[in-house]
Amino acid sequence: MPNAPCDPPTGARQSIFNSFPFITSLSTGEHPMKRYSVWMAILIFSLVIVGCVAAAPAGEMMEDEGPKVLVVGTSQEPENVFVMWGSTRTGSDVMSFMWRKPISFGGDNQPFAEILESLPSQADGTWVVDEEAGTMQVTYKFRQGLKWSDGEEITVHDLAMAFEITSDPNYIYYSESFPVESIEVVDDYTAILHYKGINLFPDQEVRTHVIPEHVYRPLWEEAKAKGGNVWENFGNIEQVAIKPVVNGPYMLEEWVPGSHIRLVRNPHFNVGEEPSIDEVLYRIIPDLNSLAVSVASGQVHLTDGWLSLEQANAMESAPEVDPIFVPALWLEHATIQVNRPPLSDKLVRQAVLTAIDRDGINEALFKGQQPPAHSWINSAHPAYNPDVRQYNYDPDEALRLLAEAGYTPNADGQLADSDGNLLEIPIITISGDRTREQVSALVQAQWQEIGITTEVKPVSARLLFSETLFDPPNFEGIAIWRWVFNARVEPRGFWYPGESAAQLDQLFAEGNTWAENERNKELIDMIDAELDQEKRYALLQEQQAIWAEELPVLPIYWHVRVATVNTALEGYQPADQAMVGWNVETWELE
């Protein structure tokens, strides 16, 4: 059963929010963002004026002289652009201009056949279920004549190659949760995917990839021959991580770290229409205020998912910028170290979430548009369980839970265990991301108010996703970032200890109540095999109840996807399940 709603102590709430210059009092009749909005608008306006003056020459270069160059702004830099080796949103965005897959999602949030002739279907026999054996097979038929950027043809051998290397246990995202057991090549354009069990979504399987076997087979064999970790060897090859042979409308021409990534037309692209835009320039602008200035002054045509709601709202007065707000299955959360004290104790996890005023954060920073998350499934999804335990802001309840876990105030008012060890929980956040810095500062203040010892440790996005989350022995406390879920809501890849995503799997090692919860594992096995959607939803609701009790991560809030589009760009079609550049070949730039 969920916790009973509890209003937070007014005085405590005011004292925290009033202590930050970017947040006004929540006790007055004035909207908590009103004064901040005015201040921010003035700041952005003044920055825009400066930016326009200083950057006029660059703006002139974006006129109709020379090739058509689409400028996309991002605050983070990808670690690589290899289709099966990217964990950051930025990497996925850049790769959406470079790679095409057998199946993708479009602007209507529906799957479509991209390299395939058609989506797998039970009606035409390309999806065959053997209920007695508990398995199934799916036939992929490739379109013929499609080309790689080096002019070679795309075949199902490229599908089999991608499957082979991602099945290697050293693969950084290796997970037994991938439902395909093996791939049988029938001919150059036909392959049969043999599934480990029954799966409800083979017609939505966007995790199958193709990479050119003629390029990567010798490089893969070379990496294996070196010994050691084959994926580390493979990933250090420039043609893998930096300048891959691709099948999308654009290929990488130049990457200047910390500055930009330049993509040029793929001369052999024929998976879709020939694009009318000549180049795509990804500008890396870590400071979000500077990124906002670049958007408002016309130096950036497109941003997707990087600017804050407040910054996007301020763009409404910019004559050549259209802000777009898209509901998204993006969960802002805190990945936590559950294998070691203090967060190995679920009472502590429950307490620290109870000590965060997520409703207050939503009102103060997001005008009520990014509500608290109570589950890993969004409340708009039919599988959502509204009766899961909810952790409403209640400092007194947080202290009670911590006392039960063995942490009480010492003489200095700091929480400590019976041996005098302080309750210390560092907060890792992404540097240069103003919104996350604000959220982290509020969490820090609210925790400090009840006696938790904590500090905010900003790190670059690249460091967070390439090292911090993949180094469990040295990862302490929490790391605040977002996950992008899909509408299929498949729990195994996230919540099955031993088979979950790489950055979680090592943190979900045996020895804590979450990893050892057998009912959670049973439910996920049942969810995987259930073909009846309503029955599947019922199983998901039970699994969410366990999840909300155990809290393997701390859910903070659900995002609204914010995009800004210059009026010179036509054809951009954002959707929750679609990648940024899914239809870039149809875009026009005036």
Q: What percent of the chain stands above pLDDT 90? A: 61
Q: Which residues, 6 or more positions from 444, have their beta carbon under 8 angstroms from its beta carbon?
A: 427, 454, 455, 456
- Angle at Cα 422 formed by Cα 420 and Cα 424, nearest 5°? 160
- Check whether 557 has a pLDDT greater than 50: yes
pLDDT of res. 450: 98
Confidence band for 38, pLDDT divided at 50, 70 and 90: very low
Tens of pLDDT, residues 333-343? 999 988 889 99
Distance between CA 304 and CA 581 in Å, rounded?
10
Q: Which of 279-288, 430-439, 498-507, 560-569 is least confident? A: 498-507
Reduced to 3 states, what is the DSSP secondary structure of residue 423? Answer: coil
Residue 549 Cα distances to 354, 485, 528, angstroms:
12, 21, 22
Distance between CA 238 and CA 259 in Å, rounded?
19
Tens of pLDDT, residues 188-228? 999 999 999 888 889 998 889 999 999 999 999 999 999 88
Please report which helix (H) or strand (E) contains residue 463, including its range.
helix 461-466
CATH number of 327-560: 3.10.105.10
- Check whether 174 has a pLDDT greater than 50: yes
Tens of pLDDT, residues 302-340? 999 889 888 888 888 888 999 998 888 889 999 998 888
Tens of pLDDT, residues 562-579? 999 999 999 999 888 889
Q: Is it true that domain 68-83+220-324+566-589 has CATH number 3.40.190.10?
A: yes
pLDDT of res. 416: 98
Q: Which of 44-58, 132-146, 520-534 is least confident? A: 44-58
* Residue 149 contacts residue 475 (beta carbons within 8 Å): no
Confidence band for 170, pLDDT divided at 50, 70 and 90: confident
- Angle at Cα 369 formed by Cα 364 and Cα 375, nearest 5°? 100
Long-range contacts: 37-46, Cβ < 8 Å, 24+?
A: 37/310, 37/313, 37/314, 40/310, 40/311, 40/314, 41/314, 41/317, 43/289, 44/289, 44/292, 44/293, 44/296, 44/311, 44/314
Q: Who has greater pLDDT, 561 or 184?
A: 184
Distance between CA 73 and CA 530 in Å, rounded?
42
Tens of pLDDT, residues 42-64? 333 333 333 332 333 334 444 45
Superfamily of domain 101-217: Dipeptide-binding Protein; Domain 1 (3.90.76.10)
pLDDT of res. 156: 99
Reduced to 3 states, what is the DSSP secondary structure of residue 157? Answer: helix
Tens of pLDDT, residues 74-102? 998 998 999 887 657 788 999 999 999 99
pLDDT of res. 40: 34
Write out the residue limits of the CATH 3.90.76.10 domain(s) in the chain.
101-217
Distance between CA 136 and CA 590 in Å, rounded?
49
pLDDT of res. 19: 36
Buried residues in 33-59 as b, exposed as e (16+ CB within 10 A)? beebbeebeeebeebbeebeeebeeee
Write out the residue limits of the CATH 3.40.190.10 domain(s) in the chain.
68-83+220-324+566-589
465, β-bridge pairs: none
Task: List alpha helices for 284-426, DSSP H.
Answer: 288-296, 309-314, 346-354, 358-366, 395-404
pLDDT of res. 61: 41
Write out the residue limits of the CATH 3.10.105.10 domain(s) in the chain.
327-560
- Residue with structure tokens 């017609």? 203
Tens of pLDDT, residues 451-488? 999 999 999 888 888 788 877 777 889 999 988 887 88
- Residue with structure tokens 């102590």? 9
Average pLDDT over all residues of the chain? 85
Distance between CA 547 and CA 324 in Å, rounded?
33
Distance between CA 97 and CA 95 in Å, rounded?
5
- Check whether 26 has a pLDDT greater than 90: no
Long-range contacts: 25-34, Cβ < 8 Å, 24+?
A: 26/360, 26/363, 26/364, 31/367, 32/363, 32/364, 33/310, 33/363, 33/364, 33/365, 33/367
- Check whether 1 has a pLDDT greater than 80: no
Flag whether the pTM goes above 0.85: no
Q: Which residues, 6 or more positions from 467, have their beta carbon under 8 angstroms from its beta carbon?
A: none
